[in-house]
Structure formats: C-alpha cells, structure tokens
Amino acid sequence: MSLTDHDTAAGVKEASDEAALQGIDFISGIEISCEFRGPGTMHLLGYGIDPSSASLADLSAELIGNRNDRNPRIIRQLNELGVVVTMKEWEDESGGHVVGRPHLAAILVRKGYVSSVKQAFDKYLGQGGAAYFDKERVPPRRALELTYAAGGIPVLAHPFQLRCTNDAELETVVKNMVDLGLVGVEVMHSDHDIALVERYTKLADRFGLVKTGGSDYHGASKKTIDFGWSHGQRVPREFYDQLVEVHRKHHRPATQTVAS
C-alpha cells in the first residue's frame, strides 16, 4: 500500500500509522506534477521518500502556494459564468486538507450546476473547461532529482494521461525520462484497460523498468473507483515486492512491514 498525494507528503505519516494498525505493508509516496506539452499531463510518483525531507517540504510549499493563487481565479471565473460559489465553501469542503478541484466539483454537483464530478471537470474545471487555469509544474529533471534526494525512486504515473499520439512518441518520452533516472512505470491504473496494461507492460519490460499499479482513489469524488482496485483488477502483490526491492538497491529501506 502507498499514499501518493499530489505535490505533498503531509498525509504519509497518518497513512503509515493506520497501515501499521491494520497490519498492512506500506511504502511512502508522493505524486509530483511535471511540465509537459499539452494536451497531455505528466505526473511522477516518488516511492520510498522521506516525508520529512526539507527539499520536498520546500517543493510542496511552492506548489501549494501557486495553487492557492490559482484557486481564487477559478472562483472569480465561475462567478462570472453565473456559478455561485465562494472560496470559503471550497475551503470548508476540503476539511482542512489541500484545497483541490475535486472538492470544488463536489460543491457544483451538490448545488445542481452539474450532474456529476466528471461533468464538473468536463464543463468547468478540467483542461479546456470554462474555468480552467493551469497550475505551476516542475521540470521533469528537477522532479526526479528531488525524488532521489528525498530517498525515493521515481516512477512515471499513468502514461495514458500523457496523451501521446502513437507508440513511437510514447517510447521517446519514456526513454528521455529513463536517461534522467526513471526506474519504473505505472502499468495498472483506473484509466488503463486490459489492452493498455499489456501495452505499458511491454514498454516497461523494453526499458527494464519496475512495474507498479494504483487505483488513483480519491474517495467520494471518484465514486466509480474503489481503493485497492485498478480498472476492476487487483494490483498483484509482486508489484509491491518488486518496488521495495528496487528501492533497496537505490537507498536504505524506507518501508514498514507489520506482522499480522
């Protein structure tokens, strides 16, 4: 099990403690938003990071600060479009956690402006939406360097979201990342059907990358996604074991194994 929140490791200790109580193996993590040409997006997973890393704390403060500057712009744009919502409502919806667009989407659903979280993103909050503003992102090289400096290993998240037009383009992106130090790729994800899992598995094998998987679970904001499941399939236990082994080859152990 791992927790990989966007641009912050603030919840890792709590998740690790709860995993210990439940007798679940746990490895720390973070998901860093990287610069990438549109229409796709690139996210880098950092597994085995030290959540108290000063460099990651600085990065989180920088990115969350930029996000907080962006959020009022989204609210103003929504208001101009006739969607009545306030920053206070958005902050209250987050429950004291990092204020994210899924929280705002939930408000729009509750107020009847849209019928679903997906529609909220398609119409207003997602890329191309009427109230979309891009956020600050980190150059891929810096993201990889920060991951290693924090004691972690870098894994390319959900390659489907890169929106590459063909296999050759995808291979070029992955090769460039491997040259920078990439060690893994997320082959199983809620956006990846069986055909994509096979495609990304072959890609990982071609470059000698460790294979990982995740649900991209976001709680109630993504009701069709269940914790621990990836597009209707369980992520194999060996993915975790291989990830831990690769981490050990690069750093000291940063996992927690709890006797059942």
**Whether 211 contacts 185, CB under 8 Å:** yes
The two structure tokens encoding residue 216: 């991209």
Q: How far apart are the first and last CA of the chain?
A: 15
Give the integer Cα–Cα distance in Å for 172 and 176.
Answer: 6
The two structure tokens encoding residue 173: 């992106």
Q: Which of 179, 171, 187 is nearest to 140 (CA)?
A: 179
Percent composition of the chain: helix, strand, coil (DSSP 3-state, to 5): 50, 15, 40
**Whether 201 contacts 75, CB under 8 Å:** no
Q: Does the domain at residues 12-61+137-256 carry the CATH identifier 2.40.30.60?
A: no
CB crowding 18-41: b at 16 or more within 10 Å, else e:
ebeeeebbbbbbbbbbbebeeebb
Give the integer Cα–Cα distance in Å for 99 and 56.
Answer: 18
Residue 18: half-sphere exposure toward Cβ, Cα within 13 Å: 9
Give the integer Cα–Cα distance in Å for 28 and 219.
Answer: 19
Helix (H) or strand (E) holding 42: strand 42-47
Ranges of the chain with pLDDT below 50 = 253-260
The two structure tokens encoding residue 77: 């744009």
Question: Residue for token digits 């000291």?
Answer: 252
Question: Residue for token digits 């495609």?
Answer: 199
What is the pTM for the complete model shown? 0.80
The two structure tokens encoding residue 196: 């994509």
What are the C-alpha distances in Å from 227 to residues 7, 224, 252? 20, 10, 28
Domain range summary for the chain, segments of one domain joined by +:
12-61+137-256, 66-125
Q: Which of 234, 227, 250 is nearest to 48 (CA)?
A: 250
**Whether 55 contacts 146, CB under 8 Å:** yes
**Whether 183 contacts 246, CB under 8 Å:** yes
Q: What is the pLDDT of residues 47-77, one digit of tens each?
A: 999 999 998 999 888 887 887 788 999 999 9
